[in-house]
Amino acid sequence: MSGGSGDGNTAEPDLTPMLDMVFQLITFFMLVINFKSASMDLSLKLPIIGSARPVEVQGIEDFLVLNVNKEGQLVIYGTVVPVDQYLSSEARVSRMKLPPAERNNPNAELPTSVVIRADRAVSFKNLNYIFTECQKRGFRKFSLKAFNMEDPAT
């Protein structure tokens, strides 16, 4: 018990400023978190190209990151997934970003850019299969990820 007037009234702190600050911090971290970087499989050994450069967009496109391991399997968030099912679901999501008049057109070009991160040991046959399946579903913009210099650890 604290000393005081003894009338039985207790003083309680006003938690409104603290709750307001916590809410602002949560909102800040939700806005700045980068979910796209979590979709990259860092265990892949990317090919090395002397003239590799970053993907150039002006912030108007969405990216679909596809990680292809050396066996030619699609790896999303560390899990091997079926290529056809995953690309079909992503195409449906991307198609919703089209103007309403073009959503039902099966030949419409999807606004999503596909970024393929393939292991350097993947065969061309497996990589071509991924490209072909993407094109069947309307994806037309592609980028390949590579290192621009020799990695000393490899």
The 8 Å CB, 24+ separation contacts for 47-50 are 47/118, 47/120, 47/146, 47/147, 48/120, 48/146, 48/147, 48/148, 48/149, 48/150, 48/151, 49/146, 49/147, 49/148, 50/148, 50/149
150 inside domain: no
126 inside domain: yes
114 inside domain: yes
Residue 145: what pLDDT?
72
**What residue has token string 């679909």?**
64
Length of the chain: 154
Question: What mean pLDDT is predicted for residues 51-71?
Answer: 68
- List the domain range (segments joined by +) for residue 45: 37-144
70 inside domain: yes
Residue 3: what pLDDT?
53
**Number of helical (H) and strand (E) elements in the chain, helices listed first:** 4, 5
DSSP-derived pairing of the beta strands 141-144 and 62-68: unpaired
Residue 21: what pLDDT?
92
For a pLDDT cut of 90, what percent of the chain falls above it? 6
94 inside domain: yes
18 φ, ψ to 5°? -70, -45
78 inside domain: yes
152 inside domain: no
Please tell me the pTM assigned to this model. 0.58
Q: Among 101, 74, 77, which Cα is nearest to 88's?
A: 74
Task: List b or e across 119-140, with b for residues whose CB sees 16 or more CB atoms inside 10 angstroms.
Answer: beebeeebbeebeebbeebbbe
58 inside domain: yes
Instruction: Please state the domain count of the chain.
Output: 1
Residue predicted with more confidence, 24 or 153:
24
Question: What mean pLDDT is predicted for residues 136-143?
Answer: 86
Q: Among 40, 45, 68, which Cα is nearest to 154's?
A: 45
What are 72-100's pLDDT values in tens digits? 888 888 888 999 999 999 888 888 888 88
